[in-house]
């Protein structure tokens, strides 16, 4: 029997991309502060490509550090936060051989995604049943809940519990980089015109080029993930649906899709804090919402054709769980006990019966063919004409 595997220990080789990203962040921060912010404050060396402007320096310093701190927080959070894995509980343990078509046993979670063969999805590496939207990552050696993709730049998978941090990282990265690019353009241009020292000119142009490149690249990824979040899809699901041409199974509408990633509290949407809504094991799909709508519609109203010949050929009115049988004829539906020319199906239990006093005085009279919501008036079998009217009312309950 296959054994469930654990996440691997820290490996320096796979952590090199993270070290590289940290070096880029430190480099851009140092260049921007040393060759743009400090000269704007009138500090540092006697040579400066810009005249001291404390108002501009104060504005650039505050805005830059706000976005920079948010970027660093998002990066730390997305690296250190586990994306979510299948819990080590008995309900997710898979104790069958590979290929066995076993339906979920009693007490086991029911999933909606299946294999192409119709079998329940299972992980042959972790030896567990897969929840909806979960996939196995060979790099992390674990099944990841709502897996988006494995990102080597964060040495982690993007999954259910760190998807928000990753999205905010993509949002603040282009904002911060493009802010550096735009605000540092006058500084770099003046360094070229004034023939600044080579070191100053080199670092300014290097910082401009690097920040512009990173800003454009991360902005492209941000646009792609904005589309995915709006449709409630992951990168893996997008690749799968693109081949099949199907839409997202988990679409909740624009607001619901964004709330699933950023959380239910709008005040925490732009900061990398706050718990993820739900547990990442169960998701609401279009089929589950349709089932709920069908269940609620059973308590709604239904109409069945009315007989135009004076009788009530199976006319029913269902409202809020109450059923009124309007004379289903015995020769057409079978006789379940005639009452005033009408019959009842076996699923309807007859309640108390009350007779109008006037009807007892004139048992033979009546005008047929009148139907009320809770009553039926009609001529009794064998009755004649007259001004009398026989009204019978029934309290009827539906056996579900």
Q: Catalytic amino acids? A: 151
Could you give phi then psi for residue 27, rounded to 5 degrees?
A: -65, -50
Closest CA to 165 of 84, 267, 274, 265: 274
Strands of 302-303's sheet in order across: 302-303, 315-319, 322-326
Let me know if 95 is exposed, middle or buried by CB neighbors in 10 A (0-12, 13-18, 19+): exposed
Task: Say if CB 343 and CB 336 are below 8 A apart.
Answer: yes
DSSP E strands in 49-163: the ranges are 122-123, 128-129, 135-137, 142-144, 149-151, 156-158
Closest CA to 166 of 256, 57, 84: 84
Task: Say if CB 187 and CB 39 are below 8 A apart.
Answer: yes
């Amino acid at each position: 029997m296959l054994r469930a595997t654990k996440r691997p220990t820290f490996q320096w080789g796979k952590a090199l991309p993270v070290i590289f990203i940290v070096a880029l962040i430190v480099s851009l921060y140092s260049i921007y502060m040393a060759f743009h912010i400090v000269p704007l404050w009138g500090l540092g060396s006697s040579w400066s490509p810009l005249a001291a402007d404390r108002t501009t320096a104060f504005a650039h310093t505050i805005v830059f550090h706000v976005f920079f701190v948010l970027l660093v927080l998002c990066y730390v959070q997305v690296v250190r936060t586990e994306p979510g894995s299948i819990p080590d509980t008995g309900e997710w343990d898979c104790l069958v051989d590979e290929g066995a078509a076993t339906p979920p046993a009693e007490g086991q979670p029911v999933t909606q995604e299946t294999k192409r063969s119709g079998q329940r999805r299972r992980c042959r590496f972790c030896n567990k049943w897969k929840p909806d939207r979960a996939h196995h990552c060979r790099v992390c050696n674990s099944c990841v809940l709502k897996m988006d993709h494995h990102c080597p730049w964060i040495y982690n998978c993007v999954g259910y519990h760190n998807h928000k941090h990753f999205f905010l990282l993509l949002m603040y990265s282009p904002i911060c980089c493009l802010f550096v690019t735009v605000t540092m353009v006058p500084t770099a241009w003046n360094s070229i015109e004034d023939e600044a020292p080579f070191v100053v000119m080199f670092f300014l142009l290097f910082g401009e080029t690097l920040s512009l490149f990173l800003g454009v690249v991360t902005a492209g990824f941000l646009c792609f993930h904005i589309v995915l979040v709006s449709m409630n899809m992951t990168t893996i699901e997008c690749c799968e649906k693109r081949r099949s041409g199907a839409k997202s199974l988990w679409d909740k509408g624009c607001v619901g899709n964004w709330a699933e990633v950023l959380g239910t509290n709008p005040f925490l949407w732009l900061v990398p804090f706050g718990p993820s809504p739900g547990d990442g094991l169960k998701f609401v799909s279009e089929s589950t919402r349709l089932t709920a709508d069908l269940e609620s519609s059973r308590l709604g109203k239904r109409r069945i054709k009315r007989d135009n010949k004076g009788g009530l050929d199976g006319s029913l009115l269902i409202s809020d769980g109450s059923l009124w049988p309007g004379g289903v004829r015995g020769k057409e539906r079978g006789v379940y006990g005639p009452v005033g020319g009408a019959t009842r199906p076996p699923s309807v239990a007859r309640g108390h019966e009350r007779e109008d006093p006037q009807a007892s005085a004139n048992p033979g009279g009546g005008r047929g063919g009148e139907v009320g919501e809770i009553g039926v008036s009609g001529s009794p079998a064998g009755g004649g004409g007259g001004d009398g009217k026989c009204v019978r009312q029934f309290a009827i309950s539906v056996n579900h």
